Amino acid sequence: MVSRETSRDLPEWMEPAREGLERYSEILAGPGLERGLMGPRELPRMWDRHILNCAVVADPGSGLIPTGSLVADVGSGAGLPGVVWALVRSDISMVLIEPLLRRATFLTETVVDLGLSERVTVLRGRAEKVMATPGWAGVDVVTARAVAPMDRLVGWTMPLLKTQGRLVALKGSNAVSELEQAEGVLKDFGVDSAEVIYCGAGVVDPETTVVVARRG
């Protein structure tokens, strides 16, 4: 039997979302595991490696996700970070973009289960298809986690933004070198500044590595 970490000490700003986060962890460890969206080895480290790893990036004090933002999560998969951000930030709205039917179905069911339907929309399709959706006017923030190297990710995500907006990408240990390799494509998409930052000191260890690319 795989052990499951069911709860954690949370920073004060996350406490209002505790019930939702715990329910989401149950969904990931249940239907998420059964449908192959989470591996059994991930269950004992669900909070540190996945839930809190995503949540700390949405800290209102960091300013990475401005108040009232419309945010798109590209390649949302099991809902990381999009579902977590919607839970810990009641002021933002999310668009979860996922091309695979089984994952999009899981996301839709999860959004309903967590009572997030008023603020979270699931769109099945690739980013370029979403951009062609009638009425699409762009988002304030676009994010992705473990989707692709920066040089490719920039091309998939930056066109989803409004004229002024930012990419907040959750990355791994190669973030600095990926950012250097993406310098040309960042310039092509009019990015004014790009940097690697670290989130979650005192909450997660290691801290979450984030690439932030701002335009306008």
Residue 38 falls inside a structural domain: yes
Cβ contact 201:177 at 8 Å: no
Within-domain flag for 2:
no
Name every residue whose Cβ is closer than 8 Å to that of residue 156 and which is 6 or more positions away in sequence.
74, 126, 127, 128, 144, 147, 148
Assign residue 151 the CATH number of its domain: 3.40.50.150
**pLDDT score of 7 more than 60:** no
- Judge whether 135 and 153 are in contact, CB under 8 Å: no
Closest listed residue to residue 150, CA positions, set 109, 111, 191, 116: 191
- 5 part of a folded domain: no
Model-wide pTM > 0.75: yes
**Residue 17 sits in which domain range?**
12-215
Structure token pair of residue 177: 């070198």
Predicted confidence (pLDDT) per residue in 65-122, tens digit = 999 999 999 999 999 999 999 999 999 999 999 999 999 999 999 999 999 999 999 9
Indicate whether 174 belongs to any domain: yes
User: Is residue 1 one of the residues assigned to a domain?
Assistant: no
pLDDT in tens, 118-132: 999 999 988 877 876
Strand-pairing partners, residue 194, are 213
Q: What is the pLDDT of residue 118?
A: 97
- Of 127, 94, 124, residue with least CA distance to 111: 94
Tell me the pLDDT tens digit for each residue of 36-50. 999 999 888 899 999
Query: How many domains is the chain built from?
Result: 1
Question: CA 117 from chain center: how many Å?
Answer: 17
Q: What is the pLDDT of residues 144-158, one digit of tens each?
A: 998 889 999 999 999
- Tell me, yes or no, whether 7 lies in a domain: no
Residue 206 within any structural domain of the chain: yes
Q: With contact defined as beta carbons under 8 Å apart, do 103 and 126 qualify? A: no
